A and B are shown apart, each in its own frame.
Chain A
Amino acid sequence: MTTVLRANDIHSFYGKSHILHGVSLEVNEGEIVAVLGRNGAGKTTTVRSLIGLTPPRQGSVEIFGKDTTRWPAHRIAGLGVGYVPEGRKIFGSLTVLENLKVPQARPGQWTLDRVLELFPRLNERRSQLGRQLSGGEQEMLSIARPLLLNPRIMLLDEPSQGLAPLIVREVMKVVQRMRQEGLSVLLIEQNAPLCLSIADRAYILDDGKVVYSGKAADLAKDTELVNKLAGASSKGATPSHAANAPQPAVN
C-alpha cells in the first residue's frame, strides 16, 4: 500500500504557544483515517499544519512523495489535497455557485455539473447567498468546494460539528462515497462512534501528541479507552466545550 500523506514528528505553534509536540501520522491510499481527541488536543492544528495554513516549525510533512513542509497552502492544494475547514468557512456573501467557482479547479472527473449532481440541494439553491443556507447545506457546500480540485486526498475537520444527527449520517455517507471514488480521507472528529464506524484506522491525540494509533474496528469495541482518551466527559473538556458548541442546525 502506498502512503499518500505522512507527518513526521511535527511541532507546530500559534505565536509562542507550542501546540503540537511531535505528531506523526500517515494515510495510505484509499484509506479513511480518523483523528480523535478532545477539544484543544491539537486536531485542528494538525490538519492546518498538513495543508500549510500553520506550517510546522519542526518535523516534516510529505504528501504524494513530495516534501511539502514549507509549501504555501495553495501549492499544497494544487497537488490534489482537498480541505474542509472546521466551521465550514463558507463565503457568506458569495452565492452557492460563486463559492464553487473559488477553487482553482484541476482537470478530472469532478466538474461543476457533476458536483451539483451529487448535491442536488446545492443545485436548487445555487443563486442563494452562502449565509442563507442551513448548517447542513453549508457543510455540503464546504465538502463540494474542494471536490473541484479533483483531490486525491481529503482532509475534513469536524464535518459533523453542530449538525443534526440525520444530517451527520448524510455527511458520513458522502465521506464513504469519496472512498469509493478512490480518494483517501483524513477525518478529524469528536463524534467518535460514528467516525470509527466508517474509518479503517484511527489516531487519538491528546495535548498535542499521538496517544493511540490502531485499527478503527478495535478502537470502536473499546469504548472505555475512547472515553478515557478522547471523551468529552473528561476533565477540562466539558465546560469550555459546552460553552463553545455551536447551536445544532435546524433544517
Chain B
Amino acid sequence: MELLLFNAFNGLIQGVFYALMALGLALILSLNSVINMAHGGFLVIGAYLAYTLIPYLGFWGALIVGPVLAGVIGLIVERILIRPIYKRVDPIYSLLLTFGLALIIEDMTRTIWGPQGLPLEVPDIINSPVSEVYFFITGYRLFVMGVTAAAAIGLYLLLRYTLLGIRIRAGIRDLETTAALGVNIYKLRALNFGFGCIFAGLAGVLAAGVLGLTPPMGNSLIMPSFVAIIIGGVGSLFGAVLGGLIIGLAAGVVTTYYPAASEAVIYLMMLIVLVVRPRGLFGEEGLFE
C-alpha cells in the first residue's frame, strides 16, 4: 500500500511537469500552429539559466527570472525563425525547424554547462519531508504542485479576463478575422510563443529541483507532454493539464505492479482515447480540420 502511494505520488509529480509542458505546447500549437519540438529545449534553457542565476538572485529570484528569460529567448526565436514559416501551410516546415532547434539547444547546453548532471539546490525550508511515514511527500513537491496550480490559474485568468487573452482566444478560433479586426496578429503570436516558453522554463526549474539538470532533460518530458495534449484534447488547455496529471499518475501506479510497462501505459491510454474519442477528453470537434 505504501509502495503504491509512493509510486502514485511520484507519478503525480511527473504528471505536474507534463501538465506544465503541455500547457505551453498547447498554447503554441493552437495560436501559432506550430508543433514545437524545441519545447524541451526551452525547458532546458529555463532550468540552466536558473541554475546559473541562483548564486546571484537566490532560488526565489532564479525561479522567476529563469523562466522569464526562457520566454525572452522564445520571443527572439519566434521573430527570427518561426515567423518566416507561418505562411507555409505544410506542418513539415515547423516540425523540421523546431526539431533542429531542439538538437542545437541541447548541444549548446552541453557546450556551455558540460555534459555531466548538475544539482539544483533547493532552499531547506521547502525541502524537508512533511511527515516521517510519507517521506516521499517533501515540502518541495507540494511546492511544485502549488506553483504549477498558480501558474495554470494565472494563465486561465489572463485568457479569460484580459484584452490580450480575449484576442488570443479569438485568434485560436479564427486568425484571419482577428487580423481583419485590426489586431496585430504577428505581435499576438509572438507574445503567445513567449508565454508558452515561460511555461516550459518554469517546468524546467521545478523539474531540476527534483531530477537535477542534464542537457537532454527536456527529451524525457516532451513526448509524454504531447500525449497529454492528445488525451486532454487539442485546443483545450484544461484538457492538457488534466491529460498530464492522468498519464503521470497512471505511469506511477503501473510502476508498482509492473514497472516495465510504466512507459507503455501512457501510449496505450493515448491509443484508447484516439480510438474511442479522437478529439480527446475536452477537445473541440473539428478545431484543426
A residues sitting closer than 8 Å to B (CB atoms) are 51-53, 72-74, 77-78, 83, 85, 89, 91-94, 98-99, 101-106, 145-146, 149
Contact = CB atoms under 8 A, between A and B. Distances in A.
Residues of B contacting A: mostly: helix
A195 to B, nearest CB: 22
Contacts, number: 71
Interface stretch (B90-98, B162-170, B215-223): B162-170
A241 B29 CA distance: 35
B227 to A, nearest CB: 25
Given A99-B170, A102-B181, A149-B181, 7 more contacts: A83-B180, A91-B177, A93-B173, A98-B169, A102-B183, A104-B182, A145-B181
A91 B169 contact: yes
Chain B interface bracket (under 10, 10 to 19, 20 to 34, 35 or more): 10 to 19
Contact of B169 (A52, A53, A94, A146): A94
A74 B184 contact: yes
Interface string B153-188: 000000000010011011001101111111111100
Contacts of A103: 181-183
Nearest to B186: A72
Given A72-B179, A74-B179, A77-B179, A94 B173 contact: yes
A102 B180 contact: no
- Residue with the highest number of chain B CB atoms closer than 10 Å, among A52, A91, A106: A91
Taking each of B179, B181, B185, B186, which has the highest tally of chain A beta carbons within 10 Å of its own beta carbon?
B181
Interface of B: 163, 166-167, 169-170, 173-174, 176-186, 284
Nearest to B178: A102
Nearest to B169: A94
A53 B180 contact: yes
Given A53-B176, A73-B176, A101-B163, A149 B170 contact: no
Given A72-B186, A89-B174, A101-B163, A77 B169 contact: no
A89 B179 CA distance: 12
B181 A104 contact: yes
8 contacts: A73-B179, A77-B181, A91-B177, A94-B170, A101-B163, A102-B181, A103-B181, A104-B183
A106 B167 CA distance: 16
Contacts of B178: 102
Contacts of B173: 91-94
The 6 A-B residue pairs whose C-beta atoms are closest, nearest first, are: A104-B182, A77-B182, A73-B179, A103-B181, A89-B177, A102-B170
A73 B186 CA distance: 11
